[in-house]
Amino acid sequence: MTLVLRQVTRRVSGAEIVREKVLPTDVARIGRGADCEIRLPDLAVSLHHATLSQTGPGQVSVASAGREPFGVDGRFVTRTDIDVSRAPRLIFGDHILTLSAGDGGRILINLAAAEPAEGESSSGVPAGGVISKARIFGRRRIAWTLGLGIVALCLLWPLAAFHGHLKARIDPDQQWSTGPLSSAHAFLEDDCQSCHQEAFVAVTDASCKTCHAGDQTPAMMAAAATSVRRAGSPDTLSFVRDHAPRGRILWGTPPPDGITGQATAWVRRAFNLPEQRCASCHVEHVANPVAGRPPEPVPTLTPTQTCIQCHTGLTHRLKDTDLADAPSWAGHPNFRPTLPGPSGPTRVSLNSRPREASGLTFPHDLHLSPGGGPARMAQTLGGRGYGAAMTCASCHRPDADQKGFAPVQMERDCASCHSLSF
Going from N- to C-terminal start, the domains of the chain cover 3-132, 173-313, 359-413
Residues facing residue 40 across a β-bridge: none
Residues facing residue 28 across a β-bridge: 52
Query: What number of residues does the chain have?
Result: 422
C-alpha distances in Å from residue 97, one per residue of 20, 23, 30, 85: 14, 15, 10, 14
The sign of the CA dihedral 321, 322, 323, 324 is positive
- What pLDDT, on the 0 to 100 scale, is given for residue 166? 62
pLDDT digits (tens, 9 = 90+) for 99-126: 988 887 788 889 998 765 554 444 444 4
SS3 state at 407: coil
If you average pLDDT over residues 159-180, what whole number do you get?
A: 71
- What pLDDT, on the 0 to 100 scale, is given for residue 292? 64
Residues 165-182 as b/e (b if ≥16 CB within 10 A, e otherwise) read eeeeeeeeeeeeeeebbb
- What pLDDT, on the 0 to 100 scale, is given for residue 124? 46
Provide Rg for the chain, Cα atoms. 46
SS3 state at 258: helix
Split at pLDDT 50, 70, 90, the class of 45 is very high
CA proximity to 96, closest of 119, 76, 71: 71
End-to-end Cα spacing for the chain:
141
pLDDT digits (tens, 9 = 90+) for 317-372: 999 998 889 988 888 988 888 777 778 778 888 888 887 777 777 888 889 888 88
Asked if the model's pLDDT at residue 381 lies above 70, the reply is yes
Side-chain-side CA neighbours of 246 within 13 Å: the count stands at: 8
- What pLDDT, on the 0 to 100 scale, is given for residue 384? 57
- Ramachandran sector of residue 294 (left: φ over 0; alpha: ψ -120 to 50; beta: rest): beta
Split at pLDDT 50, 70, 90, the class of 288 is low
Cα distance between residue 161 and residue 165, in whole Å? 6
Got the DSSP string for 122-166?
TT---TT----HHHHS-HHHHHHHHHHHHHIIIIIHHHHHHHHTT
- What pLDDT, on the 0 to 100 scale, is given for residue 253? 86
Beta strands in 32-94 (DSSP E): 38-39, 50-56, 59-64, 70-72, 75-77, 79-83, 89-92
If you average pLDDT over residues 395-410, what whole number do you get?
A: 82
Q: What angle do CA 407, 411, 417 make, to 5 degrees?
A: 110
Asked if the model's pLDDT at residue 382 lies above 80, the reply is no
If you average pLDDT over residues 58-78, what whole number do you get?
A: 90
Q: Are strands 107-113 and 282-283 parallel, antiparallel or unpaired?
A: unpaired
C-alpha distances in Å from residue 217, one per residue of 115, 231, 244, 405: 97, 21, 19, 19
Cα distance between residue 356 and residue 409, in whole Å? 17
User: Does residue 112 contact residue 105 with C-beta atoms inside 8 Å?
Assistant: no
- What pLDDT, on the 0 to 100 scale, is given for residue 407? 84
User: Does residue 304 contact residue 257 with C-beta atoms inside 8 Å?
Assistant: no
Give Cβ neighbours of residue 195 (< 8 Å, ≥ 6 apart).
Answer: 188, 203, 207, 208, 284
State which fold the 3-132 domain adopts. Answer: Tumour Suppressor Smad4 (2.60.200)
Asked if the model's pLDDT at residue 169 lies above 80, the reply is no
Average pLDDT score, the chain: 82
